[in-house]
Amino acid sequence: MLNSKRLILAHFWLAFALFGLALLLGAWQMFIRSPMAAWIGNPEWYYRSLTAHGTIMAYVFPTLIAMGFGYAISESSLKQALIGARWAWIGFWLIVVGTVTSMIPVSLGLASVLYTFYPPLIGNPFYYIGIVLVVGGSWIWVALMAINLASWKRSNRGVPVPLAMYANVASSWLWGWTAVGAALELVLQILPVALGFKSTIDAGLARVFFSWTLHAIVYFWLMPTYIAYYTIVPRAIGGKLYSDSMARISFVLFLVVAMPIGIHHTFADPQVGAGFKFIHSAFTAIVALPTLLTVFTICASVEIAGRLRGGRGPFGWLTALPWQNPVMLAVAFSFIMLGFGGAGGLINMSYQLDASIHNTQWITGHFHLIFGGAIVIMYFVIAYDLWPHLTGREIRNLHLMRVQLWLWFVGMIVTTFPWHYVGVLGMPRRMAFFDYTDPAIAPDAIPVVMSAFGGFLLVVSAGVFFAILYKSQRSPLCDAGPYRFSVAVHPQTKVPVALNGHALWIALMIGLTVTNYGFPIAQLTVRSDTSVPAYYVGTRK
């Protein structure tokens, strides 16, 4: 049952519209810094564009997808109308207002600080206020998801919480807690300086706060994709979910171990002790566990589909799979990109190996492959899957959908593989132009051109995506039936209380945050000699 169709559609449309704009900026950035363009006369334009691209793609786009998808999951899995729909609209409009508020100073060149803020760089206060509004809007969603689940539990005592909603609420709690880091950084540190109450800032502490958000935010981006793996893919390809419990364990593991690992983003920073870097590195290794569990469970579920379709033998089920089905194609692409991206991630999280690729294009390649690749391709699938239920109109052109997914997959591989390669050669990230005539970086020129063409393919793919959605508006009305999620091979009739609620895992998440972040934050807060003068972006003289 989907009552709040307009609400959900509003989230998806805004998300994809902003995504389309930010994608164009990204493609322009790839072109302008490649050997195909003359050196940009004013690098400020590049950083302005980069700030807008990062802010939209990292904060606004995935948050809107998670929220829209979350409302859809809440209504259709719990089979109850959304409680607090008015609040949900308030959250949506907060995001709209926040996005506009932050993008105006960015467009004017008053806040070219990149989405990671980089204090002591300080931009126009409205940029940060806008982001605080976006986060505030998303926290309304966090609260609504918990309220809806609690209300359902009260009237359904003893019934297991549907997997989709269980995962969705895990995702919302993860976001609720991880966003606290950036919120503390913005409210306690950056905004007082941006508003002129202070002129110095503890840049090291600010970076530690940001790392609190920076890694778990990736898992927040990932959550809708993982929910799609478990609850859409097996149903869409005609199979069954291999294990409902394994799915729940994966999601609660993300909740627990996505948080206490962020300091691996600050391996090169002097303000954090090597001991804490090691502990965070060790916990980061554990975060591979829920992903490996997921890969296993989903492959097993896909195998069930293959065998149900008559596949035989150790590999026969592979050819029996419905490869014409866009969902099948997308999940295969997503796994390939997740595999390469994950392997790269193991290098990033290793204290010593990180030193060779830290702050190079390797990192840019890594997070585009994971987020832009493995995650966003499943956002497309979520949209394709949900659209007929939201608009009442069928998406008929499966061929065009396959073309779109192929283009996105090939585009993302062509974009990110050369980035990884030039990163190993030592090419730094966040540069507006490079002197490719210098023998030291001449070998980077051709891979950079290749990756720019990958970026152009991504723009084409997004164009096709919009065309598909647009065309579906013109197909005749149909009844898509109730929105369903996949069924497990052995449907759960009884779930351990630990896997039917989130309390234990939230407690562990907060506890490990305290053990792993408590001392570094306390030490930097107490010391009086860690602040540096702020540098105001876009001021004159």
Residue closer to other proteins by CB (options 252, 413) is 252
Query: What's the CA gap between 470 and 206, in Å, rounded?
Result: 43
256 binds other proteins (CB under 8 A): yes
Question: Amino acid identity, residue 390?
Answer: L
Q: What would the x/- binding string for other proteins be over residues 67 to 106, using CB under 8 A? A: ----------------------------------------
Q: Comparing C-alpha atoms, which of 71, 74, 79 is closest to residue 11? A: 71
**Which of 440, 467, 478, 532 forms a contact with other proteins (CB under 8 A)?**
440
Query: What's the CA gap between 157 and 302, in Å, rounded?
Result: 32
Which residues does the annotation mark as catalytic? 215, 219, 366-368, 429-430
Residue closer to other proteins by CB (options 272, 338) is 272
Three-state SS for 428?
Answer: strand
CA gyration radius, the chain:
23
Of 27-35, 293-301, 454-462, 496-504, which segment contacts other proteins by CB under 8 A? 496-504
How many of the chain's residues bind other proteins (CB under 8 A)?
A: 48
**Which of 43, 54, 84, 339 forms a contact with other proteins (CB under 8 A)?**
43
**Which of 417, 433, 456, 466 forms a contact with other proteins (CB under 8 A)?**
433
Classify residue 403 by burial, with Cβ atoms within 10 Å: 0-12, 13-18, 19+: middle
Residues 6+ apart with CB under 8 A from 512: 256, 257, 259, 260, 283
Residues 6+ apart with CB under 8 A from 141: 66, 67, 70, 71, 88, 91, 172
79: alpha, beta or left? (left if phi > 0; alpha if psi -120 to 50)? left
Q: What would the x/- binding string for other proteins be over residues 197 to 236, using CB under 8 A? A: --x-------------------------------------
Query: What's the CA gap between 46 and 44, in Å, rounded?
Result: 5
Q: What would the x/- binding string for other proteins be over residues 258 to 277, using CB under 8 A? A: -------------xxxxxx-
525 binds other proteins (CB under 8 A): no
**Which of 97, 279, 487, 510 forms a contact with other proteins (CB under 8 A)?**
279
515 binds other proteins (CB under 8 A): yes
Residue closer to other proteins by CB (options 2, 272) is 272
44 binds other proteins (CB under 8 A): yes
26 binds other proteins (CB under 8 A): no
**Which of 81, 150, 343, 498 forms a contact with other proteins (CB under 8 A)?**
498
CB 126 within 8 A of CB 104: yes
Query: What's the CA gap between 19 and 57, in Å, rounded?
Result: 7
What backbone torsions phi and psi does residue 532 show, to the nearest 5 degrees?
A: -125, 160
CB 294 within 8 A of CB 288: no
522 binds other proteins (CB under 8 A): no
**Which of 503, 518, 525, 532 forms a contact with other proteins (CB under 8 A)?**
503
Name the percent of the chain in helix, strand, coil, to the closest 5.
70, 5, 25
Binding site for other proteins (CB under 8 A): 39, 41-44, 157-158, 199, 256, 271-276, 278-279, 282-283, 286, 431, 433-435, 438, 440-441, 494, 496-499, 501, 503-505, 508, 511-512, 515-516, 519-520, 523, 536, 539-541
